[in-house]
A and B are shown apart, each in its own frame.
Chain A
Amino acid sequence: MADIDIKDIIREENLVYKKTDVLTDNVMHYCPGCSHGVVHKLVAEVIEEMGIQEQTIGVSPVGCSVFAYNYIDIDWSEAAHGRAPAVATAIKRLMPEKFVFTYQGDGDLASIGAAEILHACNRGENIVVIFINNAIYGMTGGQMAPTTLVGMPTATSPYGRQIDLHGYPMKMTEIVATLPGTCFVTRQSVEKAAAVRKTKKAIRKAFENQKAGKGTSFIEVVSTCSSGWKVNPVKANEWMTEHMFPFYPLGDKKDCEKDPAEDYEKYMKG
């Protein structure tokens, strides 16, 4: 056993990981173990690594992450529930040289904002969309989301989601991947270090796509809500791995450029 004192390890020259300066010093209001904190950190780290803090505008949703602007030290717009893609559309079109992303939960993006996200993706808006799917409404107290699994109990499906009563869970990422305006559509997670690394790579790629003007990049992060699920954070990750991943399989659904215009223009020719 090599003999070295802890205080000799904890030196500036030995630093391998610290909180990015793009995160503010505000203490996050999220519950212990909440995936939001991890994803916020990854977005902030990508902004730092790309050196785009001064050019990035975030659009925060309604829901738990409404206060994302308190934690990532950039300019922000706080959008009405579900409308972030419309807000981001205008920001990007009016300032095409800036980086614009939305950060939205499943109630925001898949339910009340379904029209806005589908049309922004279909137009191929040159933005990044971060979609946190924890299958529940966190902020309002654990109600059923469009992504709630069948059989999963929530405050508004106390006996478990039933198809006859509530309809089917919605796979937004698969839907969005069919739209011609999207260039990169992927589903990731942050429950373990390897997954965190992959998600960060995906976020980086999404911002690089925006730089290259490739179209809409859409990143779903399957996440936990230990308060809403009523389990501790560690159990929440286990529950997610066991139940969410089989229904919401991880991985890239699409990685290309938005569809070429010629494919669509030919129908009016001849």
Chain B
Amino acid sequence: METGKKYLEMANSPLMWIAAGIAVFVVLMQSVIFFRKSLKAAPEVGLTKKQVKMAIQSSAISSIGPSIVILVTMISLLVTMGAPVSWMRLSFIGSVNYEAMAAGFGAQAMGTDLQHLTPIAFSCGLWTMILGSLGWLIFTLLFADKMNKVNHLLSKGNERMVPIISAGAMLGAFANLAAGNFFTETNSLTIGSAPSLACVFGCGIMMVLTKVAKTKNIQWLKEWSFAIAMFSGMFVGYLAR
């Protein structure tokens, strides 16, 4: 524990807060620039003030739940990697599962694990986290502005294919993310476990609310349906645990 204390003092030093703060500032700067440009462009493409307001409110409402989950997992990362690094990594590039894994790989490469970090293993974990996430940044830097071409390729130039690609990609990706909830520890299928019920109810409630909000054109429900579905599903899972 003695060495542990020592590296955590370093990990939580003011200098580390400054270093992490500069990196986080880039994320903030980008979102402010993009937000302002989009607000300016909105009327030019025929969006009404009301549509923009709906987008802002629905996203703000929907962000709160996931942020709290990230917050709770950040606290668990904070114990091993210190506050500045955890804060930077989860506001910037990273995601919850990735960070602990990457730091663990780095520690492993120095012959230890996250529970028994030495200063040098901590450093190696940090390098691994950072280098391991560059792939997303570099791919985005190089190809984001050319991705319309991928879409064009998938749709074979047929305009009507575009919404089908969107739906297919989203349904495929989120079915994949959700699928893990339908398996037991022994890797057989289940639909009675708490996570699977949370998932099924989240999905079912969202389907009903989306349909109702759309057909009856209920404005407030359009903004709240995602948050309601998410928290009700969570609650069902909690009750069924």
| Genuine A/B complex | no
* Residues of chain B whose beta carbon lies under 8 Å from any beta carbon of chain A: none
